[in-house]
Structure 1
Amino acid sequence: MSQGMQKNIELRFTRNNAFLSTATGLLPTLQYRCVEPLNVVETVCDANLPLGWKTLPLAPATSLGQRLLGPGEEIIVDFGTHCVGYFGLRCEAVGSPPDAPAHLKFTFGETPVEVAESFENYTGWLSSSWLQQEDLYLDVLPAEVRLPRRYCCRYVKIQVISTSPKFSLRLRDLHLNTVTSASSEPAMLMHSSCPLLEKIDRVSLLTLKNCMQEVFEDGPKRDRRLWLGDLRLQALVNYQTFGQNDLVKRCLYLFAAVTREDGLVSANLFMKPDIIADDTFLLDYSLFFVATLEDYIDVTHDLQTLHELWPTAWRQIELALERIGSNGIVRDSEDWWAFIDWHESLNKQAPSQGVFIYCLKKALRLAERVADKQSQQIIVSEITRLKKAAMKELWNEEKGFFTSGSQLQISYASQVWLVLAGVGDALFRASLMRRLLAEPPEIKMNTPYMMHHFIDALLSVGQKECAIEEIKKYWGSMVKNGADTFWELYDPSHPEFSPYGSKLINSYCHAWSCTPAYFIRKYQL
């Protein structure tokens, strides 16, 4: 996720050096592996595919040593799967001694569209510097080249922009030195007899693996940051797969170490050149610090971490309570105050009410573990108050759905989050999820992030078979359309959707989309 809004250079932050020291001590060892391309390919327009392009093999990549390239010529190599790493090759001059530099242009694509469509036509509102490309001038040939930046790709397009007419270029030893902090491979599925679910599980694992770097990155292409909403979901998958729980612990300490002056946790952190909290604050993301900590403690029983980070978790609850109106409902506003989903028309009030109740329940479990009686009493009282208010103020008996905001909007997100919050009894929630499936609201879901919570809500009311079918339909559709890793955004009815104004800038390996592996393994789907 990227957002350029809500900037305030006057914000003041605090730094907890003890927490930063703990996080530094948990820095993972990066694992490297050299991989070579499989084929030279060409891109072909295909209107039947979501992104409009596919690749066809032309020759094995081993044939590159016999091919000469001159100005205006290009090749595209295919590594066969999604990779994150550092690209290198050997470039040689053939013909007369090179009497001018060789100018090469490299373009890296997670999908065929990124090496098929020109970046010159990019019209998105995120910076074009996120587009993966690099110009290289070689003054001396032959040259062993290792591009300094880390790239995220399956495809690499190499264009010869210019050489002297007296020589051509031969490219050899193309490779990617891939990198991840995932130190082992999870066990294969033992219970599944569904080939599609097995494929979805493998794609989920590669998605998470390629986002596991020095922290759980939201996406190795963009933003390469630690976002709290992504971290929460990555951690859930990690517990069922890679089991690198110290990486979760490291990320929790990082968030707790650099907070706003009043203790509010930022929505995301920058890792370089130092740990910096972004000046973006979202109600749901700050509350997810509580949920992520509780999930971690539930798995690890790490009481020392619990006692050290409980004050930070409790502070998120205190600050969120300040946003509750006299009617017991989260106050709505027009600014970017909560995320919930990438949907420009989505009203966030009702789903945020659900998120708050959900996280209050997580906070209660933490408070019980640390024997904080006072906080327990406050939490129990607030859960009761907020649930009653949701039924009184947000439930619309005539429409049969929860509504949100002054326009009484009906959305998937509102129903899903209030079901996950446990508003209403079990029969009420199960009936609501059945109605949601039968009568889809106009305000739908745009991201795998929101789809995760939809699946979670289905499972919470016992609709396991329906959850399986929804996973197959949604994530399975991405697999059938050639996804090596799961995408940041996917709307089957509008596959080119981008909240950033261009599909070229979308992330096609994104942390929040890896959660089918969590459901498949935890619930033995």
Structure 2
Amino acid sequence: MILKYRNSLVLIVFFLSLCTESTLAQKATWIWYPGDFEIWLGNRMQNRRTERGSFLPPFWKMDSHYVLIDFHKDFELSEAEVAELYVEGQYNVKIDGKSLFGYPDKISIPAGKHRISLKVFCQNNVPAIFVRGKKVISDSSWLVTFEDKEWIDQSGKASDQSGTSWLNAAAWNFDSPSSPPSAFKLAVKPQAAVKTERSGQSLMVDFGKETFGFLKLQGLKGKGTLGIYYGESREEALDTARCETLDKLHIGFDKKKDTIHTLTRAFRYVNIQMDPGMSLDSVSMLYEYLPVEDKGNFRCSDEEINRIYEVSKYTFHLNTREFFIDGIKRDRWIWSGDAYQSYLMNYYLLFDSASVTRTLLALRGKDPVTSHVNTIMDYTFYWFMGIHDYYEYTGDKTFIRQFYPRMKSLMDYCLARRNKDGMMEGMAGDWVFIDWADGLSKQGELSFEQLLLARSLETMATSAAIANDKVNAAHYNLLASELKKNIFGKYWNTDKQALVHSYVNGQQTNNVTRYANMFGIFFNYFNDTQKLAVKKHVLLNPSVQKITTPYMRFYELEALCAMGEQPYVLKEIKDYWGGMLKLGATSFWEEFDPGKKGTEHLAMYGRPFGKSLCHAWGASPIYLLGKYFLGVKPTSPGYGTYLAEPELAGLDWMEGTVPTPHGSVKLYCSKTEIRISGTEGTGTLRIKSKTKPLCKGAKIKALENHVFEIQIIRGGTHTIQYNL
């Protein structure tokens, strides 16, 4: 219910035409209670999924936004002014505690100090306000509460005599009164089919590559049923009895009419079946997308790698929507494990912080906590790890301060579910996932889950310190330290030179898997000797069960890169992702087993077309090439300092851009020359060279084993001559 919209859009546009930047000294925006828009939008998006015409909602608890919100701010005006009000919901307005009559469109505020307050009720949408005057404008400096009487501010300190603290309002980019949060939609653009085959009352339409959006039927006429069968493959679209997605439209058009289907779908092929007497001129679509800019890029001397990178980018864009989702055919839900990898890819392609925080908040929901995120134990820990990396890449302390209470309550839930030995173990209602792998044991205390908990506790320690919770910062640090000690005491096997998979009935199992061992490497939990042992006995050991999902290949290859095995990883990328391209992939898949043949590649979950052929976790080369080949990563939060450690790995040359919070690091590297520039922070270039590198005007520091470091000055371009 938007009571303010009794005014016509024409009047709004007319008013805006009279306003200029000079007349509006400050910029107003829609504001709401932090986290509520993300939860509301997540509910709306995740409940759009259908499977063969049936509504298929998520199977976990879904929270709702707060329906009654109090907004206020204190102003000091040198002169009286009039402010316009736009509100989503029913509302009252107070100036200095005195209620105004009815639902005013405008309020007059005298000169002097005044408190403006609005209390808003809205059940269908998020209670939100847009206030626009000369100085009285709505922005994130307004204070909000959901009437819990416990207002919390970013510093964690009370700020008035009653003991009440404050929570700052949330805002995004809804900067027009005619574009409230409830009106948010993704962008669309026309997309034509590349081929249409007709046979009687049937059309087979090929859009040339995996895509997503609204199907548009042009020149549709007749009466009867029109069946639409979607396929990521031609085989799926033709199999009307078993394709994953279909629609049946009942049509009664005496004259030709163009229609746009109301639900978005994922497809490359569309098989349309019409009843006798019906006709259809052509089929096109409206491609739906989040309009975000590519700020990062990568190119090199190997054209197959370039192709893999471009398809990875396209795969990632398809799955970057209102949130980072898992796949566009199914599930179209927000899965924490999938999203965690998307956050990392985002930092090397888009650096869109809003997409990260939207996804984190939608996943977290509200208190009380009654289950793990997505009901999956490891996915709860990925949520904490997402905050760890978000802070490292962005340096955003405000987000952590604001949502630290939700972090703490989720960690309290986890710690309360440890067993008598202080270890995480699957309990009733828990899904212990790890990976899609045949025969993977989930019994007992799994080393993998303990490692994720340890990193989550480290995240909590950092976040508690940022939130000025010194007692819990020390507590979480102690828990993390003790847990890491216990992990190595319980799971490290000196004969196998690795962490074993599990601990059951008080004893180590004999099974060694890749999962805990590869995470231990890039978490830097192993000493140097252990790292080398794990690389030899696990990562490069063909007798240890292989990984077939891009999901866990992401981490396996990251661990190898962290061990300096980029040449091996480059070959693996070409074999694995290149293998999908050789089979005709136009986006990367949920799972790829090179040993499978033909339509076996399309099957999963016991269904012939159950596999997603466009899955976010398939785009991991974006991250690997940016972080471990261009070699750029922050070494202090928000790229205050950063390291560039390029690794050609047999390539003749490579070049790319790595985005940062307010700029980028650009790098070109060949076997004899490196050019690098950075727009923020203090950078360090670390390279190997047979002879001392040459760089005009730069200090060159020699380390051991022909390794050299050069400081990168902000804003300048450095050219280094070296001998690889």
TM interval, short-chain normalised: 0.7 to 0.9
| 1:96-149 superposed Cα distances (whole Å, 9 cap, x missing partner) | xx6xx2433211112233124x242x4xxxxx8xx2112233322422122221
Map of 1:70 onto structure 2: 200
How far 1:320 sits from its partner (Å)?
2.5
Counterpart CA distance in 1 for 2:625 and 2:66 is 38
- Cα distance in 2, alignment partners of residues 138 and 14 from structure 1: 37
Larger Rg: 2
State the shift of 1:202 in Å. 1.1
Aligned to 1:175: 284
Pairing 1:243–2:344 present: no
Q: TM-score, normalised by structure 1?
A: 0.78
Quote the Cα distance in structure 2 between the aligned partners of 1:263 and 1:24.
28
Give the paired residue count. 459
1:215-226 to 2 correspondence within 5 Å?
215-226=323-334
SS of the residue aligned with 2:485?
helix
**2:272 partner SS:** strand
Which structure features the higher share of strand residues?
A: 2
Secondary structure of the residue that 1:138 maps to in structure 2? strand
Q: Provide the secondary structure at the position in 2 that maps to 1:81.
A: strand
Structure 1 contact 433–458 (Cα < 8 Å) conserved: yes
The answer as to 2:413 corresponding to 1:316 is no
Contact 1:445/1:451, CA 8 A, preserved across alignment: yes
Contact 1:263/1:315 (CA < 8 Å) preserved in 2?
no
Q: Helix, strand or coil for the counterpart of 2:629?
A: coil
What amino acid is aligned across from residue 422 of structure 1 in structure 2? N
Distance 1:421 1:314, change over 3 A: farther
Equivalent residue of 2:601, what SS? coil
Mapped partners of 1:187, 1:391: distance in 2: 39
Q: 1-side partners of 2:328 and 2:170: how far apart?
A: 21
The CA deviation string for residues 64-121 of structure 1, in whole angstroms up to 9 with x for no partner, is xxx6x534xx33222122211001122356xxxx6xx2433211112233124x242x
Moved more, 295-304 or 449-458: 295-304
Paired residue secondary structure (1:214): coil
- Would you say the 8 A contact 1:328–1:385 is kept in 2? no
State the Cα distance separating 1:37 from its structure 2 match: 0.8
Q: CA deviation at 1:341?
A: 0.6
Matches within 5 A, 1:337-376: 337-348=431-442, 349-376=446-473
8 Å CA contact 2:497, 2:533 repeated in 1: no
When residues 379 and 187 of structure 1 are mapped into structure 2, their CA distance, relative to the original with a 3 A threshold, is closer
- Tell me the percent identity: 23
Distance 1:39 1:487, change over 3 A: same
Please tell me the residue identity of whatever aligns with 1:70. Answer: G
Cα shift at 1:335: 6.6
Q: TM-score, normalised by structure 2?
A: 0.58
Contact 1:403 1:410 in 2 (8 A): yes
Give the alignment partner of residue 451 of structure 1, picking from 546, 553, 556.
Answer: 553
- Alpha-carbon distance in 1 for matches of 2:213, 2:227: 18
Which residue does the alignment assign to 2:311?
A: 203
* SS across alignment from 2:425: coil
* Aligned-partner SS, 2:373: coil
**C-alpha displacement of 1:247:** 1.7
Deviations 1:493-523 (A, max 9, x none): 3453855211412221112222211111222
Task: Say what the alpha-carbon RMSD is for the aligned residues.
Answer: 3.2
Q: 1:333 to 1:350 in 2, by over 3 A?
A: farther
State how 1:20-419 maps to structure 2 within 5 Å.
25=172, 30-40=186-196, 70-71=200-201, 74-91=202-219, 101-116=223-238, 118-120=239-241, 122=242, 131-140=244-253, 141-160=255-274, 162-164=275-277, 169-172=279-282, 174-190=283-299, 192-259=300-367, 261-262=368-369, 266-267=373-374, 281-332=375-426, 336-348=430-442, 349-405=446-502, 406=504, 407-419=509-521
1:362-410 per-residue CA deviation (whole Å, 9 max, x = no partner) reads 3333334334332332233223222222222112222333222334432
Question: Deviations along 1:46-76, whole A, 9 cap, x unmatched?
Answer: xxxxxxxxxxxxxxxxxxxxx6x534xx332
Q: Within 2, Cα distance between the matches of 1:203 and 1:467?
A: 18
Q: Is 1:491 aligned to residue 593 of structure 2? A: yes
Distance in 2, matches of 1:185 and 1:5, equals 32
- Preserved contact between residue 193 and residue 207 of structure 2 (Cα < 8 Å): yes
In structure 2, C-alpha distance between the alignment counterparts of 1:294 and 1:417, rounded to whole Å:
15
Aligned to 1:226, the other structure's residue is in SS state coil
Any unmatched runs of 5+ in structure 1?
42-66, 123-127, 268-280
Write the distance in 2 (CA, Å) between the matches of 1:7 and 1:87.
28
Unaligned residue ranges in structure 2 (runs of 5+): 1-45, 50-55, 71-125, 128-168, 174-180, 631-724
Counterpart of 1:163, as a letter, is P
Secondary structure of 2:298's counterpart equals coil
Q: Which amino acid aligns with 1:175?
A: S
Q: Which has the higher helix share?
A: 1
Residues 293, 490 of structure 1: alpha-carbon distance in 2 compared, 3 angstrom cutoff? same
Query: Which stretch of the first structure deviates more once superposed, 322-331 or 77-86?
Result: 322-331
Aligned residues of 1:355 and 1:421 also touching (Cα < 8 A): no
Distance in structure 2 (CA, Å) of the matches to 1:187 and 1:500: 35
CA pair 369-434 structure 1, distance change in 2 beyond 3 A = farther
1:352, distance to aligned residue in structure 2 (A): 0.9
CA contact (8 A) 2:364 2:373 kept: no
| Alignment check: 8 A CA contact 1:110 1:155 kept | yes
Which whole-Å CA distance do the structure 2 matches of 1:135 and 1:287 have between them? 41
**Residues 262, 103 of structure 1: alpha-carbon distance in 2 compared, 3 angstrom cutoff:** closer
